[in-house]
Structure 1
Amino acid sequence: MTTPTFVPPVPANEMDRLVALSDLDLDYTDLQDQFKDLTKLAAKIAGTDMSVINLIDLYNQWSVSHFNIDGGQTPREDTVCQFTIMNDHPFEVSDLRADDRFKDKAYVTDSPNMRYYYGLPLQMGNGNNIGALCVLDTGIKEITPEKTEMLKIIADEIVNRLKALKAIDSLKHRLDAATESQKRVAHDIRGPIGGIIGLARIISEQGDENTLDEVLEFINLIQKSGDSLLELADEILSADKPKKEAKLGADEFNQLVLKDKLEKLYMPQAVNKSINFAVTTNPETGVVPFSKNKLLQIIGNLVSNSMKFTPANGSITVRLSLRVREFSNELHMVVEDTGVGMDEAKIQQIMTGQGKTTDGTDGEQGYGFGLTLVKHLVDTLKGHMYITSKPGMGTSFEIVLPQDKHR
């Protein structure tokens, strides 16, 4: 008698849920300090050994803040929280060892030897549950209604704080841009204006002693200073060439920073599946800033998709480059794999938003929204996606995103 294949639960509004998570534009490697107080408080209220805040994207669960338990990435199909996000009420498993869905999972049979799970969905509104606040223990526990209400308050505060972080990032970017612009304007116009004032003072002080030729020469110099001032104004109001050593703003990455983020997020997954994962950059533009808006969501989904369809001992390469132009830049991101590939019909399905789910090379469960989400995010940024692939010969995804030049 064969064991029935486990079919992962998928919310009916999965695409909307993924878009809501992507809109927060989170860096999963940089949230521990923002939420460690709430994570610890949740464990203390519940009386459990451990607690964790998990965010769930299409392929993975990201433990972004944790208390007495390691964080990191877990394949979505191996998690308990995939059930928690299915509804708006808490999900409880009194004994993971006695539940066929979880009893063979590594986190039950091995460290941290979890036995009890209680999770509350993180609700963004409109039924979009982006993750879960979980309290865990190695023994059997009981969560009273009073504790549940307090944990719900913490879950709501987590969502409010995520929204606030997004708003703060946006405001910080505007403030940084305004402050930088103000300083630059003050510095750049001081010279020309000072020159105009100085020449006018000379004409005024000399009075009738000025000859016509001298006055004409002074007027000519004033005109040149005025022209210089207008050129500076035009330059300030338009995008100019970025500086190679430009300091990153609150909403910016450069290729080196993005490379580091991708390696931290996806190298453990590659090692676990014995895949050679590499990220390369263009040294000539490696430190030139560009907008980080939605980048981790876009390229992260592409990398996860390649991980899914690339067998062990295969390779995945991410190539980053920035084309610097006079009025705007172009960010190019290429994800190449040596996976199973796809035919032209499948490519057309993806490009028209009609792609269907399939299982990965190691039996990873598919959810059917990954590349559709990528296409949606790229379109919202007025970019382009190109796919080159043949069955059995791997796949190459290229993303081209326009970048405003504001430095």
Structure 2
Amino acid sequence: MHQAADKLPAHAESRRLSALRSYGILDTPAEAVFDDITRIAAAICGTPISVVNLIDADRQWFKSEVGLGVRETPLETSICAHAILEHDFLEVQNTTTDPRFAGNPLVTGDPGLRFYAGALLKTPDGLPLGTVCVLDTVPRELTPQQIDTLRALARQVMAQLELRRMLVEAQALNQHRARVLATAGHDLKGPLRAALYALSKARAADGADRDARLESAEQDLAYINQKFGDMIAGATGKGGAAAPELRPTELAPVLDEVGRVWTRAARRKHIDLVVDPSACTASTNAGLLETLIGNLLSNAIKYTPDGGRVTVGCHAVEDAIEIVVADTGIGMDTARVEDYFTAFRQADASSEGLGIGLWIVRQAADVLGARIDVHSTLGAGTRITVSLPTP
């Protein structure tokens, strides 16, 4: 019986597998740049078999191979699973005399492997992903020049993988920036309209009424300025950690502020907007939660007929805090709820806007670790519950 490969400590193996998957290379089609590397390795070392392989959790997968004719084999028979435990290189000149491999089915049976040499594929952090290796059916020994060449080819493979990952990350960042810019007008349109409305009324007002309208406009413009700052930081990747910090947050001030921003929009439609926050504390991010609830209120006001009612409040249930936004609006088709939470989809195709309000809600909820539940009846209204974790 052949000797199974030792394994890295569990925490190191978890990091290794996470790094491997971050490159998005597993199960991708053959590519010329990697096929060139295996052909060069076989030619330089004079072996019938050459492989660029990656060690997954329970298999070794071949990005490129010469002389094998398969794309993966079980980890139990993998010589490379031993190789990744080495510093940077493993050479086995005669597998039949090495107790780790003498009983390996690939040695005792077809194809009768007798020789193995592999240079490790290592991440910039030193995590081993696999090897560039050559194999033969007769014992042999590589020259120092051949060993150096295998190491150089392994570096080339890692350079290709790093370029691939950088390209994927750049594409994801560009998509993120495009979405941030697309949401800006939607998220800020309501407060901007409210500020402009207050300023237009202030021109015709006197005394205390004028001062109150100017103060209202100033608050809305300050809110817009803050949101623009958040938008720019998010679009450029600046402003701190990639994910917002979640901390114990009192919800009453958050709901009061969002309610204040959308009160005038509700009044213009003679909608009764009721904000009823209880003394609740949740583990969340206040700024992102304001965006989430603001978009729910915007949607509720938009799709509630004149003279209707919109409410927002919070309460504790078991190990969660629920924020509930309810309206007496047109309602949703329950069969299409998931569609409404997709970007550029609207409940009413004739309405203005980009149709991204509920998409923003879904994205924010995912970041906050919140659950969204929707109960709606066409022609009667909608009730959306946001469940947040407790501190």
TM-score between the two structures when normalised by the length of structure 1: 0.43
TM-score between the two structures when normalised by the length of structure 2: 0.44
